[in-house]
Structure 1
Amino acid sequence: MMDATVSAKTEPENSVVSREAWRDARLKLLELEKEETRLRDKVRAARQALPWVKVDKDYTFDTQTGAKSLHDLFEGRSQLLVYHFMLGPDWDEGCIGCSFFCDHIEGALPHLNNHDVTWVAVSRAPLSKIEAYRHRMDWNFPWVSSFGSDFNYDYDVSFSAEDQASGSVEYNYRKVPADQIADEEHGMSSFYRNAEGEIFHTYSTYARGGEEVCGTLMLLDRAPLGRNETSTMSFLKRHDEYDQKPGAAAASSCCH
């Protein structure tokens, strides 16, 4: 079934030219693409060169095999990627945008693990809610609960009633008006564990910072109509909702 957002779009107005003229235009675009690649390499190098912060605080997570520490989440590897998945204690289902992001993860896990990297999703919802939503989405990646822990608050993806009452909260390294942000937000954080067992926070990204991980977006960027959005990721639904009957309420991404 074609998504209503896509079917409602007007026909594109690109000019139609000869093959030779198209090649000339493509070569100009290629120069921009090469510039983008060089800039991406520069950004990646700067990211790897960031200073680190030692993690001295103890955190406890509820998992399918019992309580675990942040140290345990590494599963014996030296690097840990944490995806801050928007699923709060009183939510009945996970964020649409976070669900879209995590649809891209399972195929990458063997490659990450072989490269000494562990990946895990963390949400503040109790484990029972996480497991219910995981079952619905048919996912098998590691996903743990930080309920009762300061972890989400310390990494600026959860905001208390007091935070919100103050009028603004810290998200994506800037102050955001509290009425423009949810009580749970998304992001991704990176950690390193050395041979002595010390843990360091090396990187966190929020908002659109993890967009390149979503291969579907990168593919759409190369499709004739691109992302075909009316707002950021407005075309998204959970992967089990695309076959909803006509007239069903359209979903939007709570990540944006």
Structure 2
Amino acid sequence: MNMQNHPVVSREEWIAARKQHLVDEKAFTKERDRLSAQRRALPWVKIDKDYRFQGPNGELKLADLFGDHSQLVIYHFMFAKGWKEGCDGCSFLSDHIDGANLHLAHHDVAVVAVSHAPFAEFQAFKRRMGWKFDWVSSAGCDFNYDFGVSARAEDVAAGKATYNYEKSDWTEEELPGLSVFYRNESGDIFHTYSTYARGLDLLVGAYNYLDLTPKGRNEEEIMEWVKHHDKYDDEGSSSCCHSS
């Protein structure tokens, strides 16, 4: 939209337009609630494979990632073996985790990031970013492959690779996603949900702010402007609350 030629109207005309848009917003909210209920009603798959992860104190099972909670959200963070930094987009999303975790930890939900690189390889980056959330490695097990965020070279070559439940010609070594699990009182674990690509938008609070502004996301490609939060220059970071 051309910001210079945007229509300017009286307050009365604005209120009328805003009320009309509110009708659509309320319809969207109701549809979102319906989809959320539909999501919770999806069937589950029991996890029988013995996945093993590496954490700060050694080997962990999937059950260990729950802690004392019955619900587990895993963010599939793009960080492959040999990488020095995590993906810009995954880092953008992960900047939102610690704030949410202050509340989710008190509402029966554990949040853990999982990456394919060996555990030691992403510790310096985690410290640099200042993140506190749990982040473990799935190196050496099938977890990333089974949950659709890593593809074996032979599957890519044979055209069998999939991403977001569709056949995909992978160009990335890793791709992002999120998976949700439930543990019952007997200790059985079930996969309840996974989402990928634009399905991850809901986790990026900064995008929700941008969607409310006149310029919106203002990007030609998804997250083209995003950097690791310590790589932005100071230009544009000032606010009215900063002293000169």
Class of the TM-score when normalised by the shorter of the 2 chains: over 0.9
Equivalent residue for 1:48?
40
One-letter identity of the residue aligned with 1:169: A
Say if 2:82 and 2:121, in contact at 8 Å, map to a contact too.
Answer: no
The one-letter amino acid of 1:220's match is L
- Corresponding residue for residue 56 of structure 2: 64
Offset from partner CA, 1:123-144 (integer Å, 9 cap, x none):
0011111101101111111000
> 1:3 maps to what in 2?
none
The separation in 2 between residues aligned to 1:40 and 1:58, in whole angstroms, is 35
**Residues matched between the structures, number:** 235
User: Could you say which residue in structure 2 is the equivalent of 1:174?
Assistant: 166
Whole-angstrom CA distance in 2 between matches of 1:23 and 1:219: 22
Which residue of structure 1 aligns with residue 23 of structure 2? 31
Secondary structure at the residue paired with 1:144?
strand
User: CA–CA distance in 2 between the matches of 1:108 and 1:219?
Assistant: 16
SS class of match (1:114): coil
Cα 1:31/1:10, change in 2 over 3 Å: closer
Output the amino acid matched with 2:38. Answer: A
Aligned to 1:226: 216
1:86/1:94 contact within 8 Å kept:
yes
Query: Which residue of the partner structure matches residue 178 of structure 2?
Result: 188
- Give the partner amino acid of 1:205: T
Which sections of structure 2, spanning at least 5 residues, go unmatched? Answer: 236-244
SS in 2 for 1:82: strand
Tell me how far 1:32 sits from its aligned partner: 1.1
SS at structure 2 position matched to 1:41: helix
Find the counterpart in structure 1 of residue 239 from structure 2. Answer: none
Alignment of 1:208-247 (within 5 A): 208-243=198-233
Gaps of 5+ in 1: 1-8, 246-256
Query: Within 2, Cα distance between the matches of 1:147 and 1:44?
Result: 32
Measure the CA separation in 2 of the matches of 1:236 and 1:162: 32
The answer to whether residue 183 in structure 2 is matched with residue 198 in structure 1 is no
1:88 maps onto 2:80 in alignment:
yes
Alpha-carbon offset, residue 168 of structure 1: 4.8
1:151 aligns with 2:143: yes
Distance 1:197 1:150 in 2: 21
Across the aligned residues of Structure 1 and Structure 2, the Cα RMSD in angstroms comes to: 1.5
Aligned equivalents of 2:5, 2:194: Cα separation in 1 = 40
Which SS does the other structure have where 2:161 is aligned? strand
Q: How far, CA to CA, are the matches of 1:10 and 1:31 in structure 2?
A: 25
String of CA shifts for 1:71-101, please: whole Å, max 9, x gaps.
1111121110000000011222100000000
1:114 to 103, 106, 122: 106
TM-score, normalising length: structure 1:
0.88
